[in-house]
Structure 1
């Protein structure tokens, strides 16, 4: 670990500890003194506390009393185990949803009302509006007013989405989906970009924030404290979005490298810094950065940290805000680009090889692969060597694989679709954000993670800010993928191979 873990972990207090007696959420204390309980007792306690909260709905009782009941419910939920939580969510989704019979009755009365009876029409409309609002939406609004209540709801939605995946029964799944949609709509409202705060992270930032930046990094794991210090130091920029209700919790983290050119590999980012620094070996400060040499800003890692905010677009706004920030700070920047991973490409490739090796290789390439692998079955041979990253050290094999894998990767990114959008989720994210597929880079990330994801291949997505809105609209509305001529030509070569099958 780079720093001593937050005091919750030191005390042995975790979100899943059923014996918890002091619940601390993001430095805010929800206190309860409870005896340890069995799973059955916990589930019963959750049910009772839920009933206690709803007992005060539509009453004139002070909000302070209702909020205290809601706080106790949150504490009990955090204490409980997975099975108890899921039973609680199933109860919430079924019992406290909108009542369809009531809706139908009011709707019939409204339809039967004379059009000139405005008073009665408005009365029925108000009743209809009220009963179309589920009871659990009222509960979410109460919890959202609590200190750290918004964070609780974000975590709650994580559990709801997990339950949706695990629920096979159709009718039950539908009510869970409705619960999810109701909470998502509230979070969409609360986490609109106008409420978010853009914050730059440096080595002088708070210790717990730096720890979270390290823990959340999902693309290029941070090795040690020196690595972290470099990523938030000179010629780098690290920005996060935070929310007033979750002030010490980064929602999205964007790492940016300031370079002289657009690098074609992870190592290329370091090489750019070396070229810019020249003979300087001493540690420099932000004030000593040579702005005249910064021509490109590279977004090399973007991470959404909260699973409960899935489907709420935050990363796209962060990229554009950071782009404007770095351009205003470094006026010589002319190029904005990502250096992005291609997750799941290797899995897709192995599946295609299993189906038909001729989908990937020409006849001549197959023969060459057989000779190099010393294996008649090329698909089986590649599956074996792709189990680890050691093959990247074999020069002859790498040279042989380079052209066919770049060719099929271009096809995968440019042509493979899901619901008419790019199949690859990272590609879909940047294309929706208005970027252009620009360059595919061979063995750009030869780390075990990079090889496991995409055989080490990475891609640059270019951002032309004056065109991004038009590109985004064209992709979302017309499914048009904006790509460089080079990528299109490479993908078409793969298309020619497919047509000969």
Structure 2
């Protein structure tokens, strides 16, 4: 994963000379000193003094080792919650006099003190970047320190307010965009890796390719999320023609279709903050205004969880996978099998209905579609439109999805209706041809007492990017 390099970039950025003047040489800060700095940061009243104390704390935090940073997080969790005496008094006052004034006082008293500390850190130039980077480090500790979830929850709530759609800036990224941003696009691409500068140029410096990203004023040239768009005359069934080195570009004045073929979330520290749904809808609206002859908006999307689900399902005593298909799956090792025409045809015939079943019927532990990409697009109001065998033959796609990709279609007039049906009824909008594929799978009945498993999200870059509706 790219977490370490990004974290170091951000933490270095908040302490360089552009932000704080000449960097200070600091001796190693003791835990007692760190705890004192947290307390002092909250005790200051003036904005100038608070900002200087916040800058001092961030400089000290940057110099800490892993154990020191864990100490900071655990101190925030254990000692900087709501003041119990103030909360008890406010609750008693509200019970005695349940009016708006006492309700407001109770709300203020119930806020953890660390929330105000985060607000003060955010006042420093570069403070927002520092907090995003700190949350990324916090993620790495949650498995071993579950008591830290309260700190993560507070940061997430603040980020949901600070990074709401009203603060996001949509930019088209092209060959004239600054090199600093273009380098980050190459680094952050999570779905179809950008090999070099020439590869990037083929994606943004031709008339029938576009790239759009969301930015935030406090993060400068750090993109939050970006989408790559191919302008075509049909919905593609494979990724290779889109990424081809040699092809003839189309005239944008003649195209009829916009294809979202890669969506990448750039800031792992903002996981769980939804940007992708806003981005796709905004880009679709902007393209529809610029090129009104475009009538079709679709995706060419990966299916990152399919192969793992298929193999786990095939291993179950009662399974929707029959014995001949189970034996077939065992023979699909590596990537070369797809070049064998007979084996590829057998795989397509047997696996395509199972993929339709996986996308429409299989749920995660929260009752949502198990595949994170499906969850994202269906939750945004898209329709599952087509399943494409052999669409991505790269090693990663063969391993995670046995080469499959999927088209989701955004029918702008139906997006809101589909979204409401998905959220309120769990209903998946799917083309009839895709739904009919599942009928043969459903006929392979389980024992009535056996419920289908609910799966965790697959551990892939796409899953990380899209978790809680964030990438393609």
The TM tier, using the shorter chain, reads: 0.7 to 0.9
Provide runs of 4+ in structure 1 moved above 6 Å.
none
1:24-48 deviations in Å (ceiling 9; x for gaps): 39x64475423453xxx45444323
TM-score (norm 1): 0.81
Which residue of 240, 260, 267 maps to 2:233? 260
Q: Is the 8 A contact 1:30 1:71 kept in 2?
A: no
Q: Report what 1:291 is aligned to.
A: 252
Which residue of 25, 41, 63 maps to 1:53? 41
> 1:16 Cα deviation (Å)?
9.6
SS at match of 1:64: helix
Q: Is the 8 A contact 1:389 1:451 kept in 2?
A: yes
Which residue of 246, 260, 267 maps to 1:306? 267
Which residue of 208, 215, 238 maps to 2:211? 238
Distance 1:55 1:292 in 2: 61
Matched, 1:206 2:178: yes
Distance 1:238 1:21 in 2: 26
Distance 2:218 2:244 in 1: 40
1:230-262 deviations in Å (ceiling 9; x for gaps): 111221100000011112000011000111110
Over 3 Å counting, the alpha-carbon distance change for 1:109 and 1:215 in structure 2 is same
Distance 1:22 1:293 in 2: 47
Q: Report what 2:465 is aligned to.
A: none
Q: Report what 2:469 is aligned to.
A: none
> 1:500 Cα deviation (Å)?
9.8
Q: Report what 1:229 is aligned to.
A: 201
Which residue of 83, 98, 117 maps to 2:67? 83
Counting matched residue pairs gives 441
Distance 1:434 1:342 in 2: 18
SS at match of 2:219: coil
Which residue of 420, 424, 427 maps to 1:477? 424
Q: Report what 1:178 is aligned to.
A: 150
Q: Report what 1:350 is aligned to.
A: 311
Q: Report what 2:464 is aligned to.
A: none
Distance 2:297 2:390 in 1: 22
TM-score (norm 2): 0.86
SS at match of 1:466: coil
Q: Report what 1:248 is aligned to.
A: 221
Q: Which ranges of structure 2 fall in alignment gaps of 5 or more residues?
A: 449-472
Over 3 Å counting, the alpha-carbon distance change for 1:28 and 1:445 in structure 2 is farther
Distance 1:260 1:495 in 2: 36
Higher mean Cα deviation, 80-89 or 221-230?
Answer: 80-89
Q: Which ranges of structure 1 fall in alignment gaps of 5 or more residues?
A: 1-8, 278-288, 370-377
1:349-408 deviations in Å (ceiling 9; x for gaps): 111122259632464x56xx5xxxxxxxx66x33xx43x322222222211111111111
Which residue of 50, 71, 88 maps to 1:66? 50
SS at match of 1:221: coil
1:160-186 deviations in Å (ceiling 9; x for gaps): 333323225xxxx2xx22222222222
Over 3 Å counting, the alpha-carbon distance change for 1:177 and 1:358 in structure 2 is closer
Q: Report what 2:359 is aligned to.
A: 413
> 1:416 Cα deviation (Å)?
0.2
